[in-house]
Structure 1
Amino acid sequence: MTPRAEPPKGALDRALEILEVLTMRGKATTTELVEAVGVSRSAVYRLVERLETAEYLTQADGHWRLGPAAARMAMAAGRNMDVLTVAPPMLRDLAERTGETVSLGVLSGDEIVFVFREIGHQAVHVRSELGARRPLHATSVGKAFLAGLAPDRCEETVAHLSMEAYTKATETDRDRLRDAIGEARRRGWSEEHGEFDAGSTCFGAPVFDQSGTVTAAISIAGPTHRMDAAREPFGPLVAETAAAISRRLGHSDWATPHAA
């Protein structure tokens, strides 16, 4: 069959591209919009003038930014989206792809509470029951949430953790926990190797909302022997899924200045 040719882009497509550019960059000059959208300067002028009239754009100091109408639309979308609405389809996809147990947790006091779980086709029982509470310092999902916090809030939280040992591998030294959190920020995911359950290995990543605030964390867990032998690297997979959930919640990378 002959592939169907895509229809040529119209004014609406170009206007949406402009809005997307400004959503990702925060601001841009007309010249930068011309380069990003790939049309003539006169065409971009017509589009931004129309968007400005409708209050979707505003201009100051030679830069275009999203206007009040765009802000109202974003706020309305945010009110109708929460992590429990957005995350499950993507978590099910990750569980199906890997065959392992995938979980979503939110903060409750100084612990993580699992609010969603999907068991993969080759998963055996792992200690991630729905509604179960988990320590922040000894789990990948907990360390992922800590990594997503602003540095001052993270430090305040770490300073008050009980640092209880659950297995011989549990990290009970606060300085080494801080190092692990810093590493999780740099690479985009956290790891736990038998620190809560001696026989399991887990990888976690934080989920951010529209404001750049960490709102949840996800993890993937399985028996250590199988996780270590897997062909696909679980860390990048869980980080990729968390980032996709965050984008659906309205988050952009520039909204989280403390994330490495």
Structure 2
Amino acid sequence: MKVKKEKEENKGSKHSVPNLERALKILELLTKYPEGLNITDISNHLDIPMNSTFRITSTLLDFGYLYRNEGSKAFTITGKLLSLGYSVLNEQTLIEKSIDVMRLLRDDIKETVLLGIMVNHEGIVLELIPGLHSIKFWVDIGTVFPSNVAAPSKAMIAFMPPNQQKEILDKMDFKKYTKQTITNISDYKKILKEVRTIGFSTDRGEEVTGVHCIGAPIFNRNGSPIAAIWVTGPEERLPEKSFNAIGVKVKEHAKLISERFGFYSEL
């Protein structure tokens, strides 16, 4: 029965490698559970036999792609996987070309400034410059942010080609986090149109109540959005009435980084 099931799982391609497919599914699953999952949880989620789950997670652990908490026995993804993305997309150059501009923006706004990219339909934090206030916002490098709420995602998606934009929108689940969350594609498209017009995006407490973000895209020499920078802070320090003024500043700093990649525009 196991052989039959395996054949059915891979009948879509005669070149499929079952355990490689399972390993990739395990990595994709763990990105959704930052607190980690144990072998039993992984096996149940993906309907993979326990012995296969053990062998695959052990291999990923040996190669440094997973970390295992010795107390809970839960597996989490390490930064090594993200480093592969850095190598392919040259994000290290992106960080090097952005870091000083991010500091300038932080010194001006006083709030935490972040840099992120899109990978498939989700966003990932690449770098962070902490704010200057005694109470500041902080997230771990590699944190995944949901596209329907995050200011950087909106900033990048708004300037993508229609086919790429559609591919990402089709994968969004529009999960509701707060009463401000955009929960349908129609309203989201209206927001993207506005972002494309004004050149910057916002998060009005759509993921975390009372936390506001303002972001703008970074373009490569071909005019494609490759990243975004954004500022984040409490509603009291980043009220909606300040969005336009701060948005212009974020956009100007993003433009400075874009110019380092050979992109020049009046946006």
TM-score by length of 1: 0.63
Taking the aligned partners of 1:141 and 1:159, their CA distance within structure 2 comes to 18
- Name 1:139's counterpart in structure 2: 150
- Name 2:122's counterpart in structure 1: 111
- The counterpart of 2:218, out of the listed 189, 204, 207, is 207
Superposed counterparts of 1:236-247, under 5 Å: 236-247=248-259
Q: Measure how far apart 1:83 and its partner are.
A: 1.4
Aligned length: 177
- Name 1:178's counterpart in structure 2: 189
Q: Measure how far apart 1:165 and its partner are.
A: 1.1
Q: Which secondary structure state, in structure 2, belongs to the residue aligned with residue 117 of structure 1?
A: strand
Superposed counterparts of 1:1-260, under 5 Å: 82-122=93-133, 124-126=135-137, 128-228=139-239, 233-253=245-265
Asked if the contact 2:218–2:226 (Cα under 8 Å) also holds between the matched residues in 1, the reply is yes
Q: Which secondary structure state, in structure 1, belongs to the residue aligned with residue 238 of structure 2?
A: helix
Taking the aligned partners of 1:233 and 1:241, their CA distance within structure 2 comes to 13
186-195 or 229-238, larger mean C-alpha shift: 229-238
Q: Measure how far apart 1:82 and its partner are.
A: 2.9
Partner amino acid for 1:128? Answer: V
Change (3 A) 1:130 1:124: farther
Taking the aligned partners of 1:170 and 1:108, their CA distance within structure 2 comes to 22
Taking the aligned partners of 1:95 and 1:153, their CA distance within structure 2 comes to 31
Q: Which secondary structure state, in structure 2, belongs to the residue aligned with residue 138 of structure 1?
A: coil
Q: Measure how far apart 1:119 and its partner are.
A: 1.0
Change (3 A) 1:156 1:231: closer
Taking the aligned partners of 1:184 and 1:170, their CA distance within structure 2 comes to 16
Taking the aligned partners of 2:230 and 2:139, their CA distance within structure 1 comes to 10
What percent identity do the matched residue pairs reach? 27
Q: Measure how far apart 1:176 and its partner are.
A: 0.4
Change (3 A) 1:236 1:123: farther
Taking the aligned partners of 2:102 and 2:146, their CA distance within structure 1 comes to 22
- Name 2:79's counterpart in structure 1: none
CA deviations 1:13-57 (Å, max 9, x no partner) are: xxxxxxxxxxxxxxxxxxxxxxxxxxxxxxxxxxxxxxxxxxxxx
Q: Which secondary structure state, in structure 1, belongs to the residue aligned with residue 139 of structure 2?
A: coil
Larger gyration radius, structure 1 or structure 2: 1
* Greater length-normalized contact order (CA 8 Å, ≥ 6 residues apart): 1
Change (3 A) 1:190 1:100: same
Alignment RMSD: 2.3
Q: Which secondary structure state, in structure 2, belongs to the residue aligned with residue 201 of structure 1?
A: strand
Taking the aligned partners of 2:151 and 2:243, their CA distance within structure 1 comes to 20
Asked if the contact 1:126–1:200 (Cα under 8 Å) also holds between the matched residues in 2, the reply is no
Change (3 A) 1:227 1:123: farther
TM-score by length of 2: 0.62
Q: Measure how far apart 1:214 and its partner are.
A: 1.0
Partner amino acid for 2:265? Answer: D
Partner amino acid for 1:176? Answer: D
Stretches of structure 2 lacking an aligned partner (at least 5 in a row): 1-89
